[in-house]
Amino acid sequence: MTFFGLDCLAKKERELERKLRANDREYNLSFKYATNAIKTSKYNFFTFLPLNLFEQFQRIANAYFLFLLVLQVIPAISSLSWFTTVVPLVLVLTVTAAKDATDDINRHRSDNQVNNRKVQVLINRKLQNEKWMNVQVGDIIKLENNQFVTADLLLLSSSEPLNLVYIETAELDGETNLKVKQALPVTGDLGDNIEKLADFNGEVRCEPPNNRLDRFTGTLTFAGQKYSLDNEKILLRGCTLRNTDWCFGLVLFAGPETKLMQNCGKSTFKRTSIDRLMNILVLCIFGFLAFMCTVLAIGNCIWELNDGSQFTVFLPRQEGTSATFSAFLTFWSYVIILNTVVPISLYVSVEIIRLGNSFYIEWDRKMYYARNDTPAEARTTTLNEELGQIKYVFSDKTGTLTRNIMTFNKCSINGKTYGDVFDYMGQRLEITEHTDTVDFSFNPLADTRFQFHDHSLVEVVKLENPEVHAFFRLLALCHTVMAEEKTEGELVYQAQSPDEGALVTAARNFGFVFRSRTPESVSIVEMGKPRTYDLLAILDFNNVRKRMSVIVRSPEGKLSLYCKGADTIIYERLHQSCSKLMDVTTEHLNEFAGEGLRTLALAYKDLDEEYLSEWQQRHHEASTALENREEKLDELYEEIEKDLMLLGATAIEDKLQDGVPHTIEQLAKADIKVWVLTGDKQETAENIGYSCNLLREEMNDVFIVSGNSPEDVRQELRNARTSMKPDAVDDSAFLAERSRIKRPKVMTDEVVNGEYGLVINGHSLAYALEHSMEQEFLRTACMCKAVICCRVTPLQKAQVVELVKKYKQAVTLAIGDGANDVSMIKAAHIGVGISGQEGMQAVLSSDYSFAQFRFLQRLLLVHGRWSYLRMCKFLRYFFYKNFTFTFVHFWYAFFCGFSAQTVYDEWFITLYNLVYTALPVLGMSLFEQDVNDAWSFQHPQLYVPGQLNLYFSKKAFFKCALHSCYSSLVLFFIPYLSIFDTVRDDGKDVADYQSFAVLTQTCLMFAVTIQLGFEMTYWTAVNTLFVMGSLVMYFAITFTMYCNGLFLMLPAAFPFIGTARNSFNQPNIWLTIVLTSLLCILPVVTHRFLMVQLYPTINDKVMFKVRQAKTKLPPPTRRARIRRTSSRRSGYAFSHAQGYGDLVTSNRFLRRPAVSRSSGFTHAGRTTGFSPMGRSAGYSPTGRPQNAKVNNVEVTSLQMYRTIGEPSL
């Protein structure tokens, strides 16, 4: 059974190749491919009760209590009534079943919502509206703009020229920028002709279902010809069609076989470390219970042999009953009586506590994101305390740490920087949301969403500075952006990457507006004047070149090459006359990179007509060569892209989500290690690492692992480890030997001097994750403070998480926002989904979700820590009060002839856990907090004890058992000795069994209640009411049950008539209660006093500070903006994907001819919009001369472009 409930893999043999035929359902049904329906629910109306009960009784405790219930109905064994077990057992089963039913109903609703979406399917030669669940492999479906893609489709045709479609893949990878897909020309000719589409009978052979989002291989056979299929022709389920009126597609994979669903991975039942520890402890308790029962059974056998014969006069035995058989019955009787060492109410209370803490998360207004109306959501209620023990956080980058929104932030043009804001004293100001923005109203085609704060750049544009104009002209021409103008003047850019869109938008706002393109030309509006440049060549971007260039001819006939790319690449190709300008620009680039901005260098070159003609001829020959085509083209590109003239550099900010750097800083202080697993390129990921404080300049070193072979990767890892710890022993042989052992050994953390970072790329990671090298990689990575894995696949993300889980005794958390993060989210102990505009696939597979990464610190440092603290205190106290309660029975056995007589009243035994002590411990477990949230943020180190399991462990459990053993001795022997041979005030005997039972259980109630008071550090009105109310309730119920009326109605059920009244009116009884309580509490007070004085914990120290500060909250930390200086720089080119250069320059139009448009500017004479105003005359409030040239920097020979017929402009 798969996670989706569809037995799609249970075929006679594993599918090796998919075969299907368009418009032929009968043929395709013979392969029994999955339908498009999905099923995530577990039960239906008929299977719920049996399946749910079966699952619940797989829990050891539930099965144990069912076994006890069977024992209790055997009269020869049971000394307790059956209702003492059946009532709590039924309550537990009912509460759990109701919770499971609610969860499954929600799954049914979600499934129905998705399965009942409508789509147009081509059936019987006409389009019909069908539900998604009825779509089958081989169907042809029609999608319209803004519709979700129904299944994995082969794109056949579209409404756009060249059969292009634009899709948004936010559900898959969290990226909101549009991707372009293109159909085969042979299927594109089908258009939207229903007859042609209905006659289409192409056969597809392709790969079987898999989870690779970035790869597809297959062939289409149609009309006797075979065509190759790749990922560029496939639309995946989960994508959204954008800016495309319609398209037709052939269903290749449906339902659970789609790549989206295949990436959801296997859903595993997640349990907390406390749950796993509890299972071990419960088994130990069962063993101890068996030991105690065995001891008492042996005691019974000895007693029967020695003393039993003396009691047969008034306690006659049944015939045939031997001492051995009596001991056997006694064993099972004591199993029933002592079963309260593991009370079933424990599990009821645990579920209630977890549910309450889940509500706290959902009700937290500080985790509510008002902009998207998105509250935090606890999608599971069983993992809350695990949030307080996280050691490793694995995070996606795009859409998780960043908003995936690029903004043009700063630039350097001809040695002068723009983008900073200065006051009248010349001091640089920090830019905030209240800082004045540049007014672009002079430009009717400006994008109103674009913001820039340095007014001086607009002024130099208006003053027609030639270098500045050339800078923005380059940005308007050198790109592969598609422009769409649905209505007059409203431009929409479809960019291949957010970086490129940000640059073109910046040029647009500063007066150089990209309007449209054809394969042979680019049309722009320069300062209000339309101009069309002939596009002669695009030298496209790739991972090796790290730059792109265009060769254009201006309307005046001038030939130019414009180039943009990574600064290190551009600098190698500059003319020697640019050396001084290059030095100044390098300083600016370092400053930009130090602020975490993505930098890009711009350069140009004027070309000779004769040389270009000869170069174009050689370019044509190289592009049609059958052998070594790529190498020949690269040589030609290298030849023409040299002796460039530097224009300047851009600085783009990949906007981080609010609070990301501070959150990562707080997590680091809490000793939580953050690993970023991203599909982005190394430079981009490294840049974001510095931006969000994951990597810091203060680090001793940041190691780059980029080997192309296993040997290289192994050597780089060893070198890094040697640098961090020179005296480290190279135990690779030991690690290899250990790896052969089936059961992995926990790898301990190694202490290193200093802080280090590790960056490893995808192909190196593939080698590092191999079985022979995985421990070496993990050992090196865990010595680092931060780890970034680049270019990783969804599968590799999950493998990294599984590796840490396998060898590190630590709790992991994965956080992401796209379908490519789902496998990682499911692999980690806790999965967190970022909800919002980026997609919901990760949220649907997560345990917790919220809208912003910054909420993670509140989830862990506040809710997680409190949940862990509350659960641990609850368990310690719960075991204490129940062990104490039960051990009294054990001591009493030695004084009752091991007869399995209970020391307490049966009603007290029944109500002890369900009524008398239930609410006080729940009150503590729901409201307890050592310090408030403000102090939790002020001292993130408070989180560390949870990682080390200091609050509840086997050691803590053993201490609890010893404490209970001492308390039970006090609670039995002090009352026993106090009433032994004692008489009442009136001379009557007080030492009867019922009076002793009432005294003992009253002492027990006072002792456990006072102990609870010592456990609580945060008293509320509710807590106080519960604690005081439990004692009041005890006395009220006791006096009621021991009254004459109930005895007269049911004598057998209420035998303790008048006992409470007769006992509690004696002063020596109350003195005994006080003495017993003091002796129980005295060791606790002494131990805590000595520990706080001699060995204070971090909690003790912080709580002392809180008491000193009384109710005054700690002042909020004011974090000054840090301006780092850095020698490293990021390249925009690294984040860019393979371009559309070939597509753009193909001899077919990309867009249908647009309606004639005006330029958008009024240009009768010199327009008022471009007249110098304000500071345009050279005045600067900072005292800096406008357009000032940097000293000793040679002026470039750039000739300014001027519009013909408008010399004044």
DSSP secondary structure string for all residues of 82-125: THHHHHHHHHHHHHHHHHHHHHHHHHHHHHHHHHT-EEEEEETT
**If DSSP codes are grouped into helix, strand and coil, which group holds residue 159?**
coil
Residues forming beta bridges with residue 642, ordered by sequence position: none
Residue 235, both tokens: 């639309």
Residue by residue, what is the 3-state secondary structure of 25-63?
HHHHHCCCCCCCCCCCCCCCCCCHHHHHHHHHCCCHHHH
What residues does 741 pair with on adjacent strands? none
The length of the chain, given as a count of residues: 1209
* Cα–Cα separations (whole angstroms), residue 616 to 609, 755, 1042, 1075, 1208: 10, 53, 108, 104, 37
The residues that bridge with 229 in the sheet, in sequence order, are 218
- Kind of pairing, strands 416-418 and 421-422? unpaired
What single-letter amino acid sits at 823?
Answer: S
Name the maximum alpha-carbon separation found in the chain: 133
Report how far apart, in Å, the C-alpha atoms of 782 and of each of 582, 721, 776, 795 are.
40, 10, 10, 21
Nearest to 995 by CA among 1076, 917, 1066, 1079: 1066
What's the rounded Cα separation, in Å, for the pair 389 and 808?
13
The Cα-based distances of 922 to 133, 351, 353, 932, 1016 in angstroms read 46, 11, 7, 19, 12
Sequence-separated (6 or more) residues with CB below 8 Å from residue 1086: none
CA distance 850 to 842: 11
Q: In the chain, what is the straight-line distance between the N-terminal and C-terminal CA atoms, in Å?
A: 73
Q: What string of DSSP letters covers 656-669?
A: EPTTHHHHHHHHHH
Rounded-to-integer distance, Cα 649 and Cα 415, Å: 9
Q: Reduced to 3 states, what is the DSSP secondary structure of residue 650?
A: strand
- Copy the structure tokens of residue 467: 């270098």
Whether residue 551 contacts residue 599, with contact meaning beta carbons closer than 8 Å, is answered with: no
Q: Which of 989, 999, 1012 is nearest to 880 (CA)?
A: 1012
Q: How far is CA 362 from the centre of its chain?
A: 17
Alpha helix locations (H) across 141-193? 170-173, 185-188
Identify which of 887, 900, 973, 886 has the alpha carbon closest to the alpha carbon of residue 300.
Answer: 900
CA–CA distance from 103 to each of 96, 110, 360, 936 (Å)? Answer: 11, 11, 19, 33
| Residues with Cβ within 8 Å of residue 995, at least 6 apart in sequence | 979, 1059, 1062, 1063
The CA distance from 37 to 24, in Å, is 20
Q: Is 396 a catalytic residue?
A: yes
Burial class (CB in 10 A: 0-12, 13-18, 19+), 965: middle
Active-site hit among 111, 396, 540, 930: 396
Give, for 439, the enclosing helix (H) or strand (E): none
What residues form DSSP beta bridges with 562? 550, 604
Q: Provide the 3-class DSSP secondary structure of residue 71.
A: helix
Q: Do the Cβ atoms of 893 and 1066 come closer than 8 Å?
A: no
Contact between 384 and 926 under an 8 Å Cβ cutoff? The reply is: no
Q: Which residues are catalytic?
A: 396
